[in-house]
Amino acid sequence: MRGPFLPNTDTVIESAAPGVNVEELVARVRARVSEIRDRPAGQVPLDALTLRSSVFIDSLEGHTNIADQKLQIRMQWPSHIGSGFPFGFQRVRALCLAALAFLFKDQRHVNAALVAAFREQISFNRQLIEQMHALRDEIDALRGAIES
């Protein structure tokens, strides 16, 4: 059902491109879609896989670097907390920072271990990607030898 402001699309297509056969275009599009659907799900191209893996690992490495920065003991009073009455004194600030460092010492050690393990996992993933690349090259060489 068309509203009063919607144009008749058949006439718009014909008037915009008078030499185009719409039915032929629709048939070509449907044929192309069926080709894509019927194509067997083969291997992902190596370049796409390597790029995707590299981008993913680089983003993980960036998050790990941020976690590593936040892991450090705070030596300065955060500016967003302000310097109200009790925290206006430098001695009180230093005492609070020392207390927080002592209270969260175990948590910092756990976080440091997690960051180290995550870095090892990232390097392991890089090695696996390199091995996968080498194996894919070997497979391509064997296919070439078999076909020739």
Q: Which long-range contacts link 63-67 to residues 24+ away (Cβ below 8 Å)?
A: 64/115, 64/118, 64/119, 64/122, 67/111, 67/114, 67/115, 67/118
Measure the CA–CA gap between 24 and 104, rounded to whole angstroms.
Answer: 71
Closest CA to 131 of 46, 61, 58, 48: 46
Tell me the pLDDT of the chain (148 aa) as tens digits.
455 555 555 554 455 566 767 788 788 888 888 877 776 565 555 566 667 777 788 888 888 888 888 887 776 766 656 666 566 677 887 888 888 888 888 888 888 899 999 899 989 988 988 888 888 889 888 988 888 7
| Residue 132 buriedness (CB in 10 A; 0-12 / 13-18 / 19+) | middle
Tell me what pLDDT residue 12 has: 47
Domain spans in the chain, listed from the N-terminal domain onward: 9-38, 46-76+102-147
Q: Distance (Å, rounded) from C-alpha 58 to C-alpha 45?
A: 20
Q: If you search the block for the tokens 């175990």, which residue do you land on?
A: 106
pTM for this predicted structure? 0.49
